[in-house]
Structure formats: structure tokens, C-alpha cells
Chain A
Amino acid sequence: AQTVTQSQPEMSVQEAETVTLSCTYDTSESDYYLFWYKQPPSRQMILVIRQEAYKQQNATENRFSVNFQKAAKSFSLKISDSQLGDAAMYFCAYKGGGSNYKLTFGKGTLLTVNP
């Protein structure tokens, strides 16, 4: 069964600095997708970044980038130049490829950004 583990319940960062959120997963599949979602206090779920397992290159979206280590089953999110608006709960998620469409989430990391 696929599982997703976020070992940091809470993290904090100073505005303009860099922070890395950790995520590990367990799977026996070779084809899958990984995601980071952001949930601000409005509780809306917002996709931050996506990584396809078959791609060796790490995904990047503006100030957000990932470090995808397939062999280690690790998928960390780096936020550069942190802004106050980045404060939110961040969820790591796994979705199988092919006919496995189950989408599994970690427990989340609450990120605080200090001015």
C-alpha cells in the first residue's frame, strides 16, 4: 500500500529566507506522480508543484522547487525567498500511474513565516 510521511508537523522561516519541507513515500510502483499542495487559512487546496516519477529533472515553479530522489523515495519542497503569503499548511501527495488512481496525502506541515 502506498504511504506518504511528512516528518515535520511544523516549520518556521524568516521572510526572504529559504526553507525545505520533507516528504518520504513508500510504493512498489515505478510509474507515479508526486505533488505538493498548499492550504492557507481559507482552507482551499492549491496545487504548488507536480513531479512525474519518470522525469529525472526536478520540477520548478518560480520560487518553489523540489528535490526528487527516486531511489530514496524522497520528495522535498524548497521555498526560496519566503513571503508572508507562503504561510500555510503544506501537504505532500502521491498518485499511482496507469490504472492506479488512488491519491494519498501526508499529514501535512504547518509553515509559519516570520516578518
Chain B
Amino acid sequence: NAGVTQTPKFQVLKTGQSMTLQCAQDMNHNSMYWYRQDPGMGLRLIYYSASEGTTDKGEVPNGYNVSRLNKREFSLRLESAAPSQTSVYFCASSGYRIREAFFGQGTRLTVV
């Protein structure tokens, strides 16, 4: 039972490069989330999705795009990476009846 799987675990990008963080869950959850974690800032919500085909902006959406490809997958794209996007990124999912969120292992992204 894999739960929530994020890839990659680590990534180094040069300023201006693009990349997509992948997230997949196998728990048949409706809601999925992307967060970034920075020291002293907690987890800040970037985007979230209630179901396939729907997405909403969180607190810090600028510089990011998302795609809810199907019920299982929710990807986060950085079109032109900036050093300010250096962070640890977490994907999470939750169901309707099971309200708590389950998290992936996180992706440590460094933009140089």
C-alpha cells in the first residue's frame, strides 16, 4: 500500500529552468494538495484540488501551475524556476469521510 508517492525526492535546478513535480495517491481520495515548507514558515498551501478537473489557489500560488490529471495524480509545475522557490515540497491527499491528510515523502528542491 504505497499511499502518496512523490517524485523526485531531490532536485537541483538552475534559475530559469522548468520542471514538474509528480504526485500520485492510491487511496481513492478526492482532495489533493501541494505545500511548500520553509524554515519558520510552516507548511504553506500552493494549490489544492477537490476532484479531477478542479483546482484552487492557496496562499502562495505565484510561479506555479498545477494539473489534476485524474483522480490519482496531481502535478506541480515550475515554468521558470527562481531561487525563492528553493524549498521542500509536499503533496498530500484526503478523502471525504477520512478527513485527515496523508502526505508524500517530500521533494527537496534547490534552485541555483
Contacts and interface: CB of A to CB of B under 8 A. Distances in A.
Interface of A: 6, 9, 33, 35, 43-45, 47, 50, 52, 91, 93, 95, 99, 101-108
Contacts of B94: 95, 101, 103
B93 to A, nearest CB: 10
B42 A105 contact: yes
Nearest to B51: A101
Q: Which 7 pairs from chain A and chain B are nearest by CB? A: A107-B42, A45-B103, A105-B43, A33-B99, A101-B31, A108-B42, A105-B42
B45 A104 contact: yes
B46 interface: no
State which size class the interface on B falls in.
Answer: 20 to 34
Q: Is the interface of B mostly helix, strand, loop or mixed?
A: strand
A102 B88 contact: no
B50 interface: yes
Looking at A6, A9, A44, A103, which has the most chain B CB atoms within 10 Å of its CB?
A103
Contact of B42 (A43, A91, A95, A102): A91
Given A9-B40, A45-B90, A91-B42, A103 B33 contact: yes
B45 A102 contact: yes
B88 A43 contact: yes
Given A35-B100, A35-B101, A102-B48, 10 more contacts: A43-B88, A50-B99, A52-B99, A93-B101, A95-B94, A99-B50, A102-B56, A103-B31, A103-B45, A104-B45
A7 to B, nearest CB: 13
B2 interface: no
A71 to B, nearest CB: 22
Contacts of A108: 42
A89 to B, nearest CB: 9
Contacts of B101: 35, 45, 93, 95, 103
